[in-house]
Amino acid sequence: MDEAAALIEQAEHLLRRAAALPVEHLTDTALCDLTGRTEQVGRLADALRVAMAGEIAERSRPELRTEGLGYRHGCARPPHLIERITRISQAEAARRIRLAGALRPRLALSGEVSPASRPMVADAVRSGRIGVESAGHIVRILDSADTATPTQLEKAERMLVEAAETESADLVKTQAVVWREYLDPDGARPRDEVLRAQRRFSIGREVNGMTPFTGLADPLSAGLLRAAMAEGTAPDRQPRFLNADDLDASDPLLDPRTRDQRQFDILIGLVTAGVRAPGGSLRPTAMVNIVVQAHHLDRGTGAAWIDDVTEPISAFTARTLLCDADTSTIVLGANGEVLHLGRKERLFSPAQRRALAVRDGGCVWPGCTAPPSWCHAHHLLEWEHGGPTDLDNGVLLCAAHHHMLHNSGYRMKAIRGKPHLLAPPHIDPHQRWRPLGRQRATRTPAAARSG
C-alpha cells in the first residue's frame, strides 16, 4: 500500500470515530467551531476528489484508444468510470474533470510540462483554503473573459482567491462576474445576443391531470419575472391572485399556498391580464431596476445590472431601454445625489428606499438573496438613539435578518457612507468590520483600483 492510500485509510478511521460522536450537547461556540473544522476537512477531501478525477481523465484520453484506463474498464468516457467507482452522477464527475483541467499542470505535445492555467486557484484548493465550488466559479467565469490580458487575469485570479478565503461561494460568483465585465467590457453586448437566442418556453402534454412546462429566460426577461414574483410574494404583502374559495374567511391575510404555488398563480394571473387587455399586451405593475455607470451608458460598452439577476446585460441594451415603461434605468455618476431628511421624518421616503435599493441591491445580510421589495429600511443608528433618516444611515434588511440584527450578537454601522457588519467573536475571531451590499455596478471601479 502506498503512502497516499495509507494516509487516507488513517483519515477514514478517524473520521468514522468522529462521525459517531454526538453533537447535541456541544456549546454554541463549540458547535460553530466544529462546523468550520469539518468543512475544512471536506475541502481537503474535495481537493483529492478533483485530483483523482483529473488523473483518471488524463489516463483515459481519446488518443490512448484501447490502452486508455476508461476503455480497459469498459467505459466509453472518463465520467462513466468515475460514476462506476464513486456512485456519483455523471454530471458531478464531469464537473470535477473540468475543474481539474484548470488546476493540473499541462503536458504539451513536445513533452514539456506547463503550469496550471489557474495556478493560484490550484494552490488554494490543494491547501484547503477555498472550496471547489468557489474554485469552479472563478475558473469558469474568468475563462469567458475573452479579451482580457494575462496580466489582468492574473490580478483577477489573485483577488478572487483572496475573496474566496473569507466569502461564500455565491458572493465569489458575483464578484467573478463583476471582474469579467470589467476585464471584457465589449463582451457584454455579444453575450446579450447569445443569451437571448437561448430563450425558450415549451409546454408538454397532460400527465395524470397535470401539464408540465419548462423554459429558459434571458437576463432582462428574468428580471421582469423576478420583479413580478417578488412584488406578489413579499412576506408582508396581502395574498394576490388567490381564489376566493381557497382564502380562509376568518383571516383574510392567511395564505395557504406554498411559495411555488403563489409564484405560479402570479404568472397565470399576469398572463390572464395580458390576454384580456386591449391588444393582448402584458403590463405588470412591477418595475425592473437597471443600474449602469454613466460612462458605460454614454459609450454603450460595459455592463448594466438588473435587480435579483446574476448575469448582467450590456450597457448598450440598457440604453435602448431608457424609455421602456416596464423598466427603470438608473444611472450612477462619480458623485451621485444623496437624499437627506434629517430628524424631521422617522420613516424613509419612497425616493430614499429606491436609492437604498440601488445602493444595496436587496437585503445586505451576507448570503441573503431577498430582493429590495421584500426589505425593510433599517436605521443603522437607531431613531430612538438620535439616528437621522438619511440615506447614509439607512440599510435594506429582509424581515428575518432585521429581527436577527436586533436579537443577536451582530453589530452594524456606516463606514464612509456604506453599511458594515461585525460578527460575534465565535464567528469572526479577528473582529473585522465587513462591507455590505449586493449592488454590482458600484463594485467595478473598486475592483479596477485595487491590487
pLDDT at 16: 93
Q: Is there a contact between 277 and 286 (Cβ–Cβ < 8 Å)?
A: no
- Alpha-carbon distance of 164 to 155, in angstroms, equals 14
pLDDT at 73: 93
Beta strand 375-379 with 327-332: parallel, antiparallel or unpaired? unpaired
pLDDT at 320: 67
Beta strand 394-398 with 411-415: parallel, antiparallel or unpaired? unpaired
Q: Is there a contact between 93 and 56 (Cβ–Cβ < 8 Å)?
A: no
Give me the average pLDDT of each 10-residue run along the chain (451 residues). Answer: 86 93 92 93 96 95 91 93 95 96 80 85 96 97 91 95 93 92 85 87 86 89 81 61 51 67 79 62 61 78 82 82 62 46 55 82 85 83 73 83 79 84 86 79 53 48
Q: CA angle, 132 as apex, 128 and 137 as ends, to 5°?
A: 130
pLDDT at 277: 63
Q: CA angle, 374 as apex, 368 and 379 as ends, to 5°?
A: 85
- Alpha-carbon distance of 62 to 268, in angstroms, equals 49
pLDDT at 367: 81
Cell 475541502 locates to 43
The domain segmentation of the chain, as residue ranges, is 350-449
DSSP 390: B
Q: Is there a contact between 384 and 414 (Cβ–Cβ < 8 Å)?
A: no
pLDDT at 414: 84
Tally helices (H) and strands (E) across the chain.
Answer: 17, 13
